[in-house]
Homo-oligomer: A and B are copies of this chain.
Amino acid sequence: MGKPTVHDIAQEAGVSLATVDRVLNARPGVRPATIEKVREAVTRLGYVRDTSAANLSRRRAYRFVFVLPEGSGQFATSLKTAVRDVSRSQIADRVAVKVHEVPTHDPHAIVRALKRLSSDALDGVAIMAPETPQVRDAIVRLKEAGTAVVALVSDLPNAPRDNFIGIDNIAAGRTAALIMGRFLAKSGEILVLTNSMRSRDSLERRLGFDTVIASDFPTQSVLPSIEGFEDPERIRQIVGDVAASRPDLVGVYSTGFGTTPLLEALRGSGRLKDLVVLAHELTPTTRRALMQNEIAAVIMQDVGHLVRSAMRILRAVCDDIPIFDAQERIRIEVIMRENLPAT
């Protein structure tokens, strides 16, 4: 005999199909004693609900929205691609996914986008945005409307999001520091390029980085962060200045957006080959730089995993079922020239 079905449970428990159904779906109107009988039959027969049949019958459809930063960055682009890819795989079975792009540094625009969302009927939102009071409020409203909300890449710990999906950014910064410290042959100064002090992920990476450099490599000194504000020209300019004026520069750590102009400036200064450069996220730029030994290593998170995880967690929150943590933990991956994933 194959897998037991609800019919088998009904027979085994000596109750009707309807009662089994009531128990399995936690519907009211069943005596505790009967519930127990059914439960026992379930364990005795080792019944497991056939989820595909269940979903088919339930004709449940989830409507999810991904709120992602607008255009520009290569990382954001690959995220969007990942969303599209995943949404046509079996993980996105019965879910309709939309992507809303918002300008990263305009909290009001983000809030407007989120407000427009709450009016739609939708089940879940995955948000990648800096944590501002306005964004927090908007999330509060979404939650009040009964929508599942997860933070993506950069956490929003003070908003009532159901979950954070992304790497531990402090640990990522610590990892970068460990690699930097061990790769550096001599002591000197390290330049850190951050996105903006308002981006929680940048901040946390910087924090982790400083901590490990201070504890494990005290002979190295880390310069104050340069804030890029997603402005390539500004980054080129400032990095160029630093490269020219700091003879002791030995390493550069780019915590997020802006690796392309950073590399251009360093190439221009002619010092690139002597520096240990670390960056985040595997993009066409960092891939090329790795192959040409311009970047020593890249810290990355698998965007496909990120998106799949977001889908699974949003679903789990919607259905109020527990999450299988181990599968959802996003790895801090270290990519070097030799373990570059194929294109």
Chain A interface (Cβ < 8 Å from any Cβ of B): 2, 48, 50-53, 55-56, 61, 85, 88-90, 93-94, 171-172, 174-175, 177-179, 182-183, 185, 208, 212, 296, 302, 304, 324, 326-327, 329, 331-339, 341-342
Given A50-B56, A93-B52; A178-B336 close (CB under 8 Å): yes
A334 touches B333 (CB 8 A): yes
A178 touches B338 (CB 8 A): yes
Which single member of B50, B88, B177, B336 contacts A334 (CB below 8 Å)?
B336
A333 touches B333 (CB 8 A): yes
A339 touches B89 (CB 8 A): no
Would you list the 8 A-B pairs with minimal beta carbon distance, nearest first? A52-B52, A332-B339, A334-B334, A174-B338, A175-B338, A175-B339, A178-B338, A53-B56
Copies in the complex: 2
**How many whole Å from A174's CB to the nearest CB in chain B?**
4
Q: In the complex, A148→B291 CA distance in Å?
A: 37
Q: In the complex, A341→B172 CA distance in Å?
A: 11
Chain B residues with CB below 8 A from A51, complex form: 90, 93
Most buried by B among A88, A174, A341: A341
Chain B residues with CB below 8 A from A302, complex form: 331
B324 touches A89 (CB 8 A): yes
Chain B residues with CB below 8 A from A94, complex form: 52
B52 touches A175 (CB 8 A): no
**How many whole Å from A8's CB to the nearest CB in chain B?**
15
Chain B residues with CB below 8 A from A212, complex form: 338
Q: In the complex, A93→B50 CA distance in Å?
A: 8
Please name 10 pairs of A and B residues whose Cβ atoms are closer than 8 Å in the assembled complex, sorted by A.
A2-B61, A51-B93, A52-B56, A208-B338, A302-B331, A304-B327, A329-B341, A333-B333, A333-B334, A334-B334
Residue of B nearest to A172 (CB): B339
B337 touches A178 (CB 8 A): yes
Q: In the complex, A336→B324 CA distance in Å?
A: 25
Chain B residues with CB below 8 A from A327, complex form: 89, 304
Q: In the complex, A225→B51 CA distance in Å?
A: 50
Chain B residues with CB below 8 A from A93, complex form: 50-52
**How many whole Å from A188's CB to the nearest CB in chain B?**
16
**How many whole Å from A135's CB to the nearest CB in chain B?**
28
